[in-house]
Amino acid sequence: MATTHVNPTRMELTRLKKKLTTAMRGHKLLKDKRDELMRQFLDLVRENKALREKVEAAILASGQNFVLARAGMTDEEVNLAMLSPKQEILIDEKERNVMSVNVPVFEFQTKSNDSGDIFPYGFAFTSADLDDAVRSLNDILPDMLRLAEVEKSCLLMSAEIEKTRRRVNALEHVVIPETEENIKYITMKLDENERSTQIRLMKVKDMMLAKAHHYETI
């Protein structure tokens, strides 16, 4: 039984048939979009997991070195060593379109490319732990930027996948069955009307024949 009231007219029937075709097409397209997004999302999220584990381990390790460095130096010395950073990172942000989701792509440039030229201090008054810590952070930096890119992409894609899934489900379980039911209702109603008109015509014909020739049909 149709939940909403529909006018059993031919115009309404044509409209509903058009709506059903659109809904079916939309459903197929959205389903394809969801599947492709999901495929790409799963690849990305696997990379995200691996990167995150690597980056977290590296940051913790360098954190330990920084603690050691601070233990061996006074606060003033550490502050002085870190006062004017030599290195600078500039990020160029571009957008990539993944199944209509815009995700960022980061390309980064460093001011100096020489990995030996990263220390912003002279080695005379600083502890060796500080060097290790800075070096390990510098090594992990490309991965950190990639992590930011991947994690943001995952975040945006997961929200889009959820939205698309809801749309697919709404079309599949609500819009399409409802429209089909309404079409069926209208078709049946129209057929019924047609039959009753036919019968009425036959009856009238019989009555006219009976009147004109005075014979009875069965």
User: Interface residues for other proteins in 179-208 (CB under 8 A)?
Assistant: none
User: Interface residues for other proteins in 123-152 (CB under 8 A)?
Assistant: 133-134, 137-138, 141, 144-145, 147-149, 151-152
Given a contact cutoff of 8 angstroms between Cβ atoms, the answer to whether 164 and 33 are in contact is yes
Task: Tally helices (H) and strands (E) across the chain.
Answer: 4, 2
Per CB under 8 A, the segment of 7-15, 58-66, 194-202, 207-215 that binds other proteins is: 58-66
Choose which of 13, 30, 154, 168 interacts with other proteins (CB under 8 A): 154
What's the closest the beta carbon of residue 45 comes to other proteins, in angstroms?
A: 6
Confirm or reject binding of residue 52 to other proteins (CB under 8 A). yes
Choose which of 10, 49, 166, 195 interacts with other proteins (CB under 8 A): 49
Beta-strand pair 89-98/101-110: antiparallel
The interface mask with other proteins, positions 4-43, x = CB under 8 A, is ----------------------------------x--xx-
What's the closest the beta carbon of residue 49 comes to other proteins, in angstroms?
A: 6
Here the contacts of 30-36 (C-beta below 8 Å, separation 24 or greater) are: 30/164, 30/167, 30/168, 30/171, 31/168, 33/99, 33/100, 33/164, 34/161, 34/164, 34/165, 34/168, 36/99
